[in-house]
Structure 1
Amino acid sequence: MKHIMLIAGEASSDFHGACLAREIFSLSQNIRITGMGGQAMVKAGVEVVFGFSDLSAIGIVEVLGKIPSGFKRLEQVVAFLKEEKPEVLVVIDFPEFNIRLGKIASNMGITSIYYFPPTVWLWRKKRANTIARYFKKVICVFPFEAEVFKNAGAKVAFFGHPLLDEIKPSRQKEMICNDLNLDPNSRVLGILPGSRKGEIKRLLPVMLEATGKLLKKFPDIQPVIVLAPTIEDRDVLPYLESVSFKPILLKGNTYDVLNICHLVLIASGTATLEAACLGVPMIILYKLNWLTYLLGKLLIRIPFIGLPNIIAGKEVVPELVQTKASVRNVVDLASIFLKDDHARIIVQKNLAEVRKKLGCCGATKKAAGLILEMAMNNYEKGIRE
């Protein structure tokens, strides 16, 4: 039986790994998919041998604390590769771990594919050369990054962004509001504080305090907190004890909830792109350990943090970074969107242009077809040998 191994190191790559696995299984039942991942990949039918809850971190300084766990997990995965010898290794994002793993796999003669490659167009551009050397194929998700990897000598495929296949609300607004006991005539304020505990600690208190002040100005808004799969209720409940209002707390159904939001307060990351694809106005918040932030300022030469703004090449949604991510600034910006429909319409038009730049639907199925084809070729080659 053909064997594909997937490696995901945090929530968003677990999601994309799950989507990819489902498409591969839809193309061939005679396939075994193993790997490192989370619950999304498990539900998709992947034989998840290694978890990642002890590895996920954000920022340079934060990552340092994860190094011992990372090296131990790398040794475990390499041992599994040596024993199982899959036809293809597919790594998803998570570059500090996956580039090392790709080098080792390449030296073992295992075909490696990078899906959702690291943001070499943002910083550390030399990684593109390393990836081109050790990975047989790089499946890019942005057209501009495909050019960067091509120029580095990589064999590149670009089919569009996989999110376009997945961002589909499953129900009408009235049904969603009814299920959540929301007034369909009121405005929903979405709160998405991130997928890592560090983000929750830094951003959620600001978002909650700002929401309390906004409720005094706009009593019709209904706050809904949407948790990432990697965050449990217990991670956020202590922060809710000190607020005077009762937000709805949800896990899952992110697209349904985003689709009914008038505005979202959102941590920088993949969720901002999801909101952009749904045309939801947002305020992006970003806070890091100060040393991480200062190091990043030295290394990253790009004017924006949020993916919608990076893709647009201009600020189409407001970003509040570090000290600017304050309660007062959130309230001031949110008040503009809550008072002025014209401001929302302008943002929605710009977000529609961002979505167009992501390419066409069907990217995940095309990526799955390419990966399966490479696995089949290696499998048949192995039989002949």
Structure 2
Amino acid sequence: MKYFIVAGEKSGDMHAANLCLELAKSSPNVEMMGWGGEKMEAAGVKILKNYRELAFMGFWEVIKNLATIFGFLKLAKKQILDFNPDVLILVDYAGFNLKLAKWAKNQGFKVVYYIAPKAWAWRASRAETIRKYVDLLLVIFPFEKAFFEKYGINTRFVGNPLFDEIAKFETNPFFKKENGLTDKPIVALLPGSRKQEIEGMLQLMANLTKEYADIQWVVAGVSSFDMGFYTVYGGEFNVIFDKTYDLLSVADAAVVTSGTATLETALFKVPQVVVYKTSNFSYQIAKRLVQIKYISLVNLVAQKEVVKELIQREYSLENTKKELEKVLFDNKVRDNQLMEYNGIIQTLGVVKASENAALEILKL
């Protein structure tokens, strides 16, 4: 079997890698090629384009880079034709991958979409696109199955792959000592994994660290950026690279940029404040298009406010201090978040998502 896989960001690379490991078990002669990162490469995928080159966020940022994006699409189409896979597997990254799905289906390729585009948040037209051009949709949240099936889409709920990833994690009992951390409270700062994202979020986080003397502030860094990229913002924090799960395993609370990390933080049972800010142009467009009440995965899964979301203007130093102090020092607030986390874990509690997804692809 031959698979071409396209993942456009860090979390997609991780989940695609676990899926590819399961697909490789199915056949000794499996061939895998695609776009992704180091984890997919370690799983046996020949990487033709690294996801870091694809990290465009927000409407304005996409518009500015349209020529580059169309160039990437043209390149991907040529590579897929040259490889001639049995199945094209698209992982998240909807703006790019849905265009690729439409083209690939018209070329006669079987198309699988893993980790569904958030059509339930944006617009139903995306669901119509999926119905026309995707043979199999593999979703990771229970509520997505009913939504997409309304549109006649061949949909399977396979479980959430974060469970698989966290299940593999082994706690390092020496992590605090190795990184110079003491028994004082630890607050994890998760500004994101993409350059534009970090640049928009980290300055306020850095300012926050100057407000408290008895807290250890630790930024979850990613090694695609050097130390200077983080320390230019000032602040009283350490940066620990590529050890987010280790950091969450010892953190007392966290300030987290909205995205996959909010759910990871919940699964590690760390009380958190969710924050997000983008360009005003992108925000004004999104505000008119987004049809959901919450942006964090934690609240979306719970279908209610479990964690406080500070978005755009609400993401201020004063508001962040106020909400962080609640999850750090107010036992009632902390305990309520942790109790709600347990409910989320039960809701998502299907294990072996990667194995389940691989089995569904093989059936196809």
What is the TM-score normalised by the length of structure 2?
0.95
* Whole-angstrom CA distance in 1 between matches of 2:261 and 2:326: 22
Distance 1:132 1:359, change over 3 A: farther
Distance 1:340 1:62, change over 3 A: same
| Alignment match of 1:201 (pick from 199, 202, 224) | 199
1:310 is displaced (CA, Å) by 1.2
1:278 aligned partner = 268
Report % sequence identity: 32
* Whole-angstrom CA distance in 1 between matches of 2:26 and 2:248: 31
Contact 2:272–2:327 (Cα < 8 Å) also in 1: no
Amino acid across the alignment from 1:321 = I
Higher deviation after alignment, 227-236 or 21-30: 227-236
Contact 1:287–1:321 (Cα < 8 Å) also in 2: yes
Contact 2:10–2:51 (Cα < 8 Å) also in 1: no
1:125 is the counterpart of 2:124 = yes
Distance 1:188 1:64, change over 3 A: same
1:140 is displaced (CA, Å) by 0.7
| Alignment match of 2:218 (pick from 220, 224, 231) | 224
Contact 1:196–1:231 (Cα < 8 Å) also in 2: no
1:307 is the counterpart of 2:306 = no
1:172 is displaced (CA, Å) by 4.0
1:164 is displaced (CA, Å) by 1.0
Amino acid across the alignment from 2:190 = L
1:336 aligned partner = 326
Amino acid across the alignment from 1:275 = T
1:94 is displaced (CA, Å) by 1.0
Contact 1:193–1:200 (Cα < 8 Å) also in 2: yes
* Whole-angstrom CA distance in 2 between matches of 1:155 and 1:372: 15
1:210 aligned partner = 208
Q: How does 1:4-43 map to 2 (within 5 A)?
A: 4-43=3-42
* Whole-angstrom CA distance in 2 between matches of 1:136 and 1:118: 14
2:89 aligned partner = 90
1:101 is the counterpart of 2:100 = yes
What is the TM-score normalised by the length of structure 1?
0.90
Contact 1:214–1:335 (Cα < 8 Å) also in 2: no
1:47 is displaced (CA, Å) by 0.3
* Whole-angstrom CA distance in 2 between matches of 1:172 and 1:3: 36
What CA deviation, in whole Å up to 9, does each residue of 1:85-137 have, x standing for no partner? 10000001111111111111111111000001110110112111111111110
What CA deviation, in whole Å up to 9, does each residue of 1:135-164 have, x standing for no partner? 110001111111121111111111211111
Provide the secondary structure at the position in 1 that maps to 2:47: strand
* Whole-angstrom CA distance in 1 between matches of 2:205 and 2:69: 32
Provide the secondary structure at the position in 2 that maps to 1:288: coil
1:294 aligned partner = 284
Distance 1:173 1:189, change over 3 A: farther
2:232 aligned partner = 238
Contact 1:169–1:259 (Cα < 8 Å) also in 2: no
What CA deviation, in whole Å up to 9, does each residue of 1:254-279 have, x standing for no partner? 21211111001110000101111111
Contact 1:210–1:328 (Cα < 8 Å) also in 2: no
1:373 is displaced (CA, Å) by 4.0
1:74 is the counterpart of 2:73 = yes
Q: Please report the RMSD computed on the Cα atoms of aligned residues, expressed in angstroms.
A: 1.6
Provide the secondary structure at the position in 1 that maps to 2:210: helix
* Whole-angstrom CA distance in 2 between matches of 1:274 and 1:230: 20
Distance 1:253 1:168, change over 3 A: farther
Amino acid across the alignment from 1:238 = V
1:300 is displaced (CA, Å) by 1.1
Distance 1:169 1:330, change over 3 A: farther
Distance 1:132 1:28, change over 3 A: same
Q: How does 1:128-167 map to 2 (within 5 A)?
A: 128-167=127-166
Distance 1:301 1:63, change over 3 A: same
Provide the secondary structure at the position in 2 that maps to 1:366: helix
Q: How does 1:163-178 map to 2 (within 5 A)?
A: 163-168=162-167, 170-172=169-171, 174-178=173-177
1:359 is the counterpart of 2:349 = yes
* Whole-angstrom CA distance in 2 between matches of 1:235 and 1:114: 34
* Whole-angstrom CA distance in 2 between matches of 1:169 and 1:264: 22
What CA deviation, in whole Å up to 9, does each residue of 1:210-257 have, x standing for no partner? 121023xxx1x2111102465443432312xx33x3x22112222121
Q: How many residues align?
A: 364
Amino acid across the alignment from 2:335 = I
* Whole-angstrom CA distance in 1 between matches of 2:45 and 2:227: 26
1:316 is displaced (CA, Å) by 0.5
